[in-house]
Structure 1
């Protein structure tokens, strides 16, 4: 599952860096509306801020608004399948949905160069279809059946950290592939990796320990007995009204939305910022993301060993204090100006500290309702994907003139939204199993409904 999420997020963000190589910034149509071309001084010996590539590697005259729409296109499709996908994964099991989702996205990724050649509308449609194929809730639905309560935090955090690992590994690798082989190779290699992972997934993974072909009897009995009735599917009926009125669930939703705004802003827009404002070439972008990626991943893995501490903090209704530092360093970027060292330092600290607080909110969904964890993840992912749609588009509008002032607006907005979510979670978050998620309570409700129908 860790490798699967690594592949998924690699497929999701490879366009961010490849966009630097795909766009011809010297084309007059791409910058005709720009009043400020160079916000920071060009490095010595550089004639322009663009990266040149030998033909026949194609480049396209997409302006900042078009790039913003293309970078957010994936999330338009992703929005549509999270809730129904989480519902079906909770009923049938998550392995088939996760496997087919990654396989579908990988196959479509192979057609990215062709879609770009046909035009930006075709590429937008392809990226939206890739998002449509990734149904939500699969991971939580599987861990609800596989993870014993005392190991749930460690297993969920470890597998979920694949998303950060994949995203921040893909960013430097994408730059390297663009340099050596050209940007089309990025999508062929990433798509091939996703197809290879899908073969391994279907060969080795099962929805339930009861049906796994290679598990020992001792391990199977331990998992089944420790999870108990919470490890069964939720059936076709759901306590939808109780979920809609659940304050802890809304605390998770709003916190995830706020955190994702900053996350997706950095994930999709940083390569453009580094190219257009700081005038880093692809090699510098690649080396910088290699540093931030390793730092982020190491801290995220430290969170695995601290999972029990995070759960204790959740039970106390608190959040890791690093959330406040995320906004602090994002705001600090606004005052770093054109200083490369300070900017890279602040971005690295912001991203890394964000990784230490992510497991808490992520695990919280399976804490408050283990039986409905897949469906809840579909709900929270749906709301959490809205920033993925809006953040790149808002960034594109703010940065039409390629100025530092426009990018300052981007980082101020991200920091403010993140801080608001942290406050909401501090006040309303909890890790207690909700009454509507208790199997015994559900049985009582069903008996009452049957009794009322008989009377």
Structure 2
């Protein structure tokens, strides 16, 4: 007799019941948390994100000593041994580190080049990870980024074109690592713990920024700027070893997982286990989905705000307070250690609210609101209080500290509305928002160049307007219910 059975959002008929046969009533009441395998994987992913972001950021720091700032004429591969005597601020750095005559415009191209590669692979890597597994996609992407980091000093010495090409290819690998990792939480993240697991992993980005800013100048001064790439390349090698050793695609394939934790994860995901064959993507339905568009547009607006803060905090501090490079690095790094802590705290808070029977849609929208509107409002106020050193730094720290709360909101919303396609959709939303990372330096540079006196004020008002529009769109159209196009009906015979 034929019957129509509605499958789980993943398109599988209770695969868990076939493998484990664990009754829901026997689901363990107490399972390990911080000492568990799933949290261990989250911390390895945290280290992966730390490494990826630091490897992308370090050239922003080393550029200060890589260029002869007294000569802005473009020479594609004009390298000299030693530093220019006229550049007094760099005379304490090792004399054998090469210096290049790159104009500020060329430096901007070098900075942005990694984003052109990243935006191309965020969405495809998420889909690929859902097919062949996160372990291989992210692992080989991290290995590729690490090898290219070690190669950058040699690439710079062989010419500007080689360096930019290397950065673009590195962006391809980093986009694969960032986009591919979200498939982990389809199989490792119990619904009540996804916020904290995802934010533990994603908060590594802010820690990478903090460490890169804090240590980049110190290593350059002590050993020379090429050693910054060698050190962070070495860290990447260690991270690759940990990733390939400790991370597995799902609890079933993990050789060391405790049976209690395994049963807990699989039983909590019984209605969301991913099928062995990846379902086809309903592209037409996705394009028409307002909840999906609201997530993508809000991600774009928030990423524009975040990227501007990350990129321009050192420049803003320098322009307002005229501090030296060492003090600027310390002040610029301070907001990001606060962001690292608040990102982890935000995930814990979101899951705490869910445990108190708050609606999922309420938690997602509240987290997005806290991570979007207050930071942009504080930045708008900033130019009017620039005369106060303590007030300015306090506003920057609080604004930067609130940004990661969105990690518990829009950035994992795809797991709510389309768990079967979440790895692909998370890559799409991050790829869509990555366009803001490309546009931000260009637009901000234009505004500062056109109006040096009120440029910062114009930038902050622009960010506030874009961020508010994205937030309102998500608050109106954002959802957490599984969408119809993310479900699957299948004819089965009993």
1:40-439 pair list within 5 angstroms: 51-52=90-91, 53-134=93-174, 135=176, 136-233=178-275, 235-275=278-318, 278-308=321-351, 312=358, 315-316=361-362, 318-320=365-367, 321-322=369-370, 323-337=372-386, 340-400=389-449, 403-438=452-487
Query: CA separation in 2, counterparts of 1:210 and 1:395?
Result: 49
Following the alignment from structure 2 to structure 1, what is the Cα–Cα distance between the partners of residues 216 and 462? 28
Q: Distance in 2 between matches of 1:148 and 1:309?
A: 14
Report the TM-score when normalising by structure 2: 0.80
Shift of 1:133: 1.2
SS of equivalent residue, structure 1 residue 385: helix
Task: For residue 190 of structure 1, report the CA deviation from its aligned partner.
Answer: 0.9
- The farther-off stretch of 218-227 and 301-310 is 301-310
- SS in structure 2 of the partner of residue 230 of structure 1: coil
Deviation at 1:259, TM superposition (A): 0.7
TM-score by length of 1: 0.86
Q: In the alignment, is the contact (CA less than 8 A) between 1:18 and 1:183 conserved in 2?
A: yes
Deviation at 1:108, TM superposition (A): 0.2
The 2-side partners of 1:411 and 1:48 are apart by 32
1:9-28 map, 5 Å:
9-27=53-71
Relative to its length, the structure with more helix (as a share) is 1
Q: Distance in 1 between matches of 2:360 and 2:55?
A: 32
Render the CA deviation track for 1:182-233: whole Å, top value 9, x for unaligned: 3222111111111110011101111111111111223222222221242214
Name the SS of the counterpart of 1:395 in structure 2.
helix
Deviations along 1:68-92, one digit per CA (max 9) or x if unpaired, are 2222111100111122211111122
Instruction: Give the direction of change, closer, same or farther, for the CA distance of 1:64–1:340 in structure 2 (3 Å limit).
Output: farther
Rounded to whole Å, the distance in 2 between the matches of 1:27 and 1:346 is 36
Is contact 1:49–1:275 with CA below 8 Å preserved after alignment? no
* In 2, Cα distance between equivalents of 1:277 and 1:50: 19
- 287 and 273 in structure 1: CA distance in 2 versus 1, 3 angstrom threshold: same
Superposed displacement of residue 129, structure 1:
0.6
Does the 8 Å contact 2:127/2:180 carry over to 1? no
Shift of the alpha carbon at 1:163?
1.7
Q: Which residue of 1 aligns with 2:489?
A: 443
Structure 1 residues 80-89 or 277-286, which shifts more? 277-286
CA contact (8 A) 1:315 1:431 kept: yes
Checking the alignment, whether the CA contact within 8 Å between 1:50 and 1:275 is kept in structure 2 is no
User: Residue 10 of structure 1 contacts residue 166 of structure 1 at CA under 8 Å; is this kept in 2?
Assistant: yes
Query: In structure 2, do the counterparts of structure 1 residues 124 and 268 end up closer, same or farther at CA, with 3 Å as the change threshold?
Result: farther
Deviations 1:329-388 (CA, angstroms, capped at 9, x unpaired): 211232344654443332222111112233211221111111211111111111011111
CA distance in 2, matches of 1:411, 1:9: 24
Q: Secondary structure at the match of 1:207?
A: coil
Deviation at 1:98, TM superposition (A): 0.9
Instruction: Quote the Cα distance in structure 2 between the aligned partners of 1:285 and 1:156.
Output: 31
Q: Return the offset for 1:54.
A: 4.7
Q: Is the 8 A contact 1:26 1:50 kept in 2?
A: no
